[in-house]
Structure 1
Amino acid sequence: MSNAITTLLSPLSPSAGPLFLSPEDMAWVEKTRDAMSVEAQIAQLFVLSARHDSIAETDGLLAHTPGGIHRFPTHDLDAAWAATRHAVERSEVPLILSGDIEGGTVSAPFTTAIPNQMGIAACDDLTLSADLARIVGQESRALGYNWSFTPVVDINRAFRNAVVGTRSYGSDPHRILAQARAYVSALQAQGVAACAKHWPGDGLDDRDQHLVTSVNDMDMDEWRATFGRIFGTLVDDGVMTIMSAHIALPAYIRDKLPQAGAQAFEPASVSRLLNQDLLRGELGFNGLIVSDATVMGGLTSWMDRAEAVPAVIEGGCDVFLFSRDPVADMDLMLQGLREGRLSEQRLHDAVTRFLSLKAKLGLHRKTPDERIAPLDQTRNLLRQPAHLDRAARAAAASITLVKNRDTLIPITPDKHKRVLIISDEGASFFSGAPERDFTQLIASMEGHGFTVRHFDPDTMPTPDDTDLILYLIGQEATPSLSHIFLDFAKLHASPRNAMIQFNREIPTLLISFGQPYYLYDAPNFATYINAYASLPDVQTALVERLVGDAPFTGNSPVDAFCGKEQLTW
């Protein structure tokens, strides 16, 4: 099987849909595909991940001749530019560059940091949402990206779920759809392919597909009215790609296979029924399907690697995302083809779709300078004043006053001069995420006349020395945490200290710079704010609102009271 197999197969040439090509572009796809050996076609299905922006790492990835490289945020523009330019210049078949460009604090520091999706949804302004998507598109394209694995269209219903949270537009399917439509349209107009995720819909199971195969337990009537409508409308709008996740939809499988046992819980990433029958057949999607990361526990715990590698493509995905051992995985894909677990037709269709995406983006016609301009030009395209202003306005508009039972806000130095801060350092799974820093908030508080000190577990605060306690807590949605909760043992420096609560003796304000549900663990706190991210612009705008210089305008995209009456009092 060392020669191309595709001459025996009918070409995939969509007559409509997001990958529809001109005859000339389709001819390039077919010529490029048919010139590849089987091994080269298999390599073309892989998108490998880069984390370090080094030429050595880039050369190591390019040695596998993958179809794409996924870049995580890093901190040195010169190095990021050089690694990207190196990859573009040394790829014979145009290389696609992808990223999880989701906003929030997981952003490269040399780009305009916009709020995460939940923060954007809290602004409740679709014009602003489209403006932010255009900024993402313009700056991402300037950095050489062609494909963003956004938007997240999950329904944030399971409030203990640690991975959906601030990555989502909230819990209302109508708001999610409106935000996602604005985003996809604006992003793709900038020449960056959007990717709706996570098919067939996350956020109902409080478990994390990074750790375990999670389950969308909707019946099909509810699914079609919610996720089906969201994905279906985006398909009709022309979203170019969809990510198939390690999430089960047992109701659909059992509709097709009433006697299904364990198979009812197979992840979508390897499910022909979910990808081919439901997504392509019922919803009519004719774009590209990319698997979620194949190193995640939701897949690796479901089947062994030798089965899973070919099953991802045979089950309907066109792109195989990430690999800890590309040589081994490409060999397993070839083995699956030889043993009949991956059909020649599926390999043919997948390669054709991936090359069609590249052609639709015009990558085969662009020079390296058109893919990523010289460094000085690239630098000038980033963090433009208009971009920074728009992002700052969005950061301010997102901040949501959830609970102000005792009318603590606004605070003043006359009443609350001595401020104690109890904070957690936060953490993030994502490569390139910065260390959390509340310097901007503290400086703003001190600039308004407050005296600020940090918690000392050996000297507990009392009403005699403290006028106000600020809990600065929370982190943005993060994989592999399992669940969201407010860790008082960590905040108060010991499990025994966790039992000590100050809120009845000292005015106390709980502020989340991430997930919106921490009031669940502090139901008797009278004042609670969701800020969604700890961006410096958010911190500055928050203090303005704490002291009454500006109003709170955020509109919560979720029920921050978690459906519990207790939390409202």
Structure 2
Amino acid sequence: MRLISYIIQEQSPVPLLISADLEGSRMSLPFGTEVPNPLALAAINDTAATRKISQIMAEEARAIGINWSFTPVLDINAAFRSAIVATRGFGSDPATIKAHALTQIKVFQDAGIAATVKHWPGEGHDDRDQHLVTTINPLSLQDWEETHGQLYRAAINAGVLSVMSAHIAFPAFVRSIDPTVGLEAFRPASVSRLLTHHLLREKLGFNGLIVSDATPMAGFGAWGPRADMLPDCVNAGCDIILFSHDPAADYASIERAIADGRISEARLNEAISRTLGLKAALGLHRAQPTADPVALGTEASQASARKIVLRVPTLVKDAQQLLPLSPAKHRRLLIASGGIVSPIHGTSAFSLPEMLAAEGFEITLATPEHDPKDFDAMLYLFGEETLLTRSRIFLDWAKIAGNFHAAMDRHWHDVPTAMISFGYPYYLYDAPRVPTYINAYATMETMQAAVLECLLGRNPWNTTSPHDPFCGLEDAHY
């Protein structure tokens, strides 16, 4: 990757922006140091930890030529059923989100990586996924100003270099301009001049670069023909159109729009100027130093990250006082799991069962034929971080139990039981009566090792959550 970046920059007459989603965990570089995702950092709620993790990400990204990150995520964990925000954001509290996001912006931009706040005008209240449908920010203007508005103003005041305009509608603002509007109130921001130019540029005063969210997403494509939507995206205020399945066809669509006057020369020049301005702000017009090859996954970086990861695993409740586990009391462990699920990487197995076996436990992976009463304790392991195109994440009892009969069985009255989520943190909605519940937020190996240390009592649990793990259910607390 380092060599590829070097070659394409050498061959380009104008320096290139090379981007990545530096979100951590499964939304991170597939090499280098394993680092936690934003929700895990919010669980620690120590900006010094966020600063260190961001420094590691920035150092390793710069080492392979990346100079633009589509982070931090400014979205708010409001709709717990959402399968797109959760682990990708810094929780539910705007003050917490602001503190960690501003920390990451400063670290990235000090390192020569342009930060991008997303997803404008604010995601997290619609429990659908804009990869699959245009989503809606349903807040009133006042509520938006007190939440998303404050977050974006803070990022702009901190000097963030770019904003991602997403496939999210904000009808309250549109109807504040025209109360009679119908369907147009639900036009996504990426193709809405009212939301991207009028609100973001004029009202909030953002003077940096605006990039659309990925245009192959259904939240964009469902709104209209691509050949029409691309010029709309430019005219809305997006300076860069993100991603294409057919660049030649998309380029031709923009050329036609320029030729027939749908995109003015002034707007075209503005978009080009802002793109060049971002490159100049990063100093890309000057000779770039060669990155040190040892910057990827150094022992120092890995040690720092492991130390921070140990602070993440969160004990939400232990009503039965099951913990800590020990081979003396809980030697025979029955483990039920659907594995680590990723729409990008497929499904893989957890390493935690092998880690437990190495500590002296006898591990059995559950099937419908196993009777939990024959074991000393039962663990449910869930491994799905919130990523793209999942629509919903929920506790699929039939899948994890093996058949629909077993899906209706609940064993925690017969055997001590704990649920551990290495990702989506809201499984108590489907299992409010499980007596022991743990959130670890990320599926990476170092997080599984950290949970092991906590399970065995060798490391203290975190006990604060950056969101409501009980999903508003009183009975889930007990």
Q: Which TM-score band applies after superposition, normalised by the shorter structure?
A: over 0.9
Partner-residue secondary structure (3-state), 1:346: helix
C-alpha deviation, 1:537, in angstroms: 1.3
Partner-residue secondary structure (3-state), 1:96: coil
Query: In the alignment, is residue 539 of structure 1 matched against residue 448 of structure 2?
Result: yes
Q: 1:255 aligns with which of 165, 176, 190?
A: 176
Output one character per residue of 1:293-314: Cα deviation in whole Å (capped at 9) or x when no partner.
0011111001111110111111
Amino acid at match of 1:438: F
- The match for 2:71 is 150
Q: Distance in 2 between matches of 1:366 and 1:483?
A: 47
- The match for 1:11 is none
Partner-residue secondary structure (3-state), 2:164: strand
Q: Which moved more, 1:401-410 or 1:227-236?
A: 401-410
Query: In the alignment, is residue 460 of structure 1 matched against residue 374 of structure 2?
Result: no
1:124–1:555 CA contact under 8 A, matched in 2 = no
Query: In the alignment, is residue 530 of structure 1 matched against residue 444 of structure 2?
Result: no
Query: In the alignment, is residue 346 of structure 1 matched against residue 262 of structure 2?
Result: no
Q: Distance in 1 between matches of 2:30 and 2:254?
A: 38
Q: How does 1:44-443 map to 2 (within 5 A)?
A: 80-367=1-288, 370=289, 373=291, 377-378=292-293, 380-430=294-344, 433=345, 436-439=348-351, 441-443=352-354
Amino acid at match of 1:527: T
Q: Distance in 2 between matches of 1:443 and 1:237?
A: 46
C-alpha deviation, 1:421, in angstroms: 1.1
Q: Distance in 2 between matches of 1:307 and 1:357?
A: 27
Q: Distance in 1 between matches of 2:158 and 2:256?
A: 38
Q: Distance in 2 between matches of 1:396 and 1:94?
A: 40
- The match for 2:458 is 549
Amino acid at match of 2:11: R
Amino acid at match of 2:410: Q
C-alpha deviation, 1:516, in angstroms: 0.5
Output one character per residue of 1:188-234: Cα deviation in whole Å (capped at 9) or x when no partner.
11110100000000000001111111000100011011100000011
Output one character per residue of 1:322-348: Cα deviation in whole Å (capped at 9) or x when no partner.
001000001001111122221211111
Q: Distance in 1 between matches of 2:300 and 2:46?
A: 18
2:84–2:387 CA contact under 8 A, matched in 1 = yes
Amino acid at match of 2:159: G
Q: How does 1:550-569 map to 2 (within 5 A)?
A: 550-569=459-478
C-alpha deviation, 1:513, in angstroms: 0.5
Q: 1:473 aligns with which of 382, 387, 390?
A: 382
1:194–1:239 CA contact under 8 A, matched in 2 = yes
Partner-residue secondary structure (3-state), 1:196: strand
C-alpha deviation, 1:86, in angstroms: 2.8
Q: Distance in 1 between matches of 2:153 and 2:183?
A: 27
1:473–1:512 CA contact under 8 A, matched in 2 = yes
Count how many residue pairs are aligned between Structure 1 and Structure 2: 478
Q: Distance in 2 between matches of 1:392 and 1:260?
A: 53
Q: Distance in 2 between matches of 1:345 and 1:109?
A: 41
1:105–1:434 CA contact under 8 A, matched in 2 = no
Q: CA RMSD in A?
A: 1.4
Q: Distance in 1 between matches of 2:59 and 2:183?
A: 45
Unaligned stretches of 5+ residues in structure 2: none
Q: 2:356 aligns with which of 441, 445, 455?
A: 445
- The match for 1:61 is none
C-alpha deviation, 1:364, in angstroms: 1.7
Amino acid at match of 2:383: G
Q: Please, what TM-score do these two structures have when normalized by structure 1?
A: 0.82
C-alpha deviation, 1:83, in angstroms: 2.7
Q: Distance in 2 between matches of 1:332 and 1:554?
A: 53
Amino acid at match of 1:169: F
- The match for 1:60 is none
C-alpha deviation, 1:542, in angstroms: 0.8
2:19–2:68 CA contact under 8 A, matched in 1 = yes
Amino acid at match of 1:448: E
2:163–2:211 CA contact under 8 A, matched in 1 = yes
1:105–1:113 CA contact under 8 A, matched in 2 = no
Q: Distance in 2 between matches of 1:462 and 1:137?
A: 47
Partner-residue secondary structure (3-state), 2:132: coil
2:379–2:419 CA contact under 8 A, matched in 1 = yes
Q: Distance in 1 between matches of 2:179 and 2:419?
A: 49
Output one character per residue of 1:352-409: Cα deviation in whole Å (capped at 9) or x when no partner.
1001111111112125xx3x54xxx42x111122211121122111111011111111
Amino acid at match of 1:516: P
Q: Distance in 1 between matches of 2:377 and 2:443?
A: 20
Q: Distance in 1 between matches of 2:28 and 2:388?
A: 16
Partner-residue secondary structure (3-state), 1:421: strand
Output one character per residue of 1:415-453: Cα deviation in whole Å (capped at 9) or x when no partner.
2110011111232234xx4854422x2233123221112
2:432–2:475 CA contact under 8 A, matched in 1 = yes
Q: 1:516 aligns with which of 425, 428, 445?
A: 425
Amino acid at match of 1:517: Y
Partner-residue secondary structure (3-state), 2:340: coil
Q: Distance in 2 between matches of 1:191 and 1:554?
A: 36
1:123–1:554 CA contact under 8 A, matched in 2 = no
Q: Which moved more, 1:241-250 or 1:503-512?
A: 503-512
C-alpha deviation, 1:81, in angstroms: 2.8
C-alpha deviation, 1:495, in angstroms: 2.4
Q: Which moved more, 1:211-220 or 1:548-557?
A: 548-557
Output one character per residue of 1:528-556: Cα deviation in whole Å (capped at 9) or x when no partner.
00000121111111111111111102521
Output one character per residue of 1:280-304: Cα deviation in whole Å (capped at 9) or x when no partner.
1111110110000001111100111
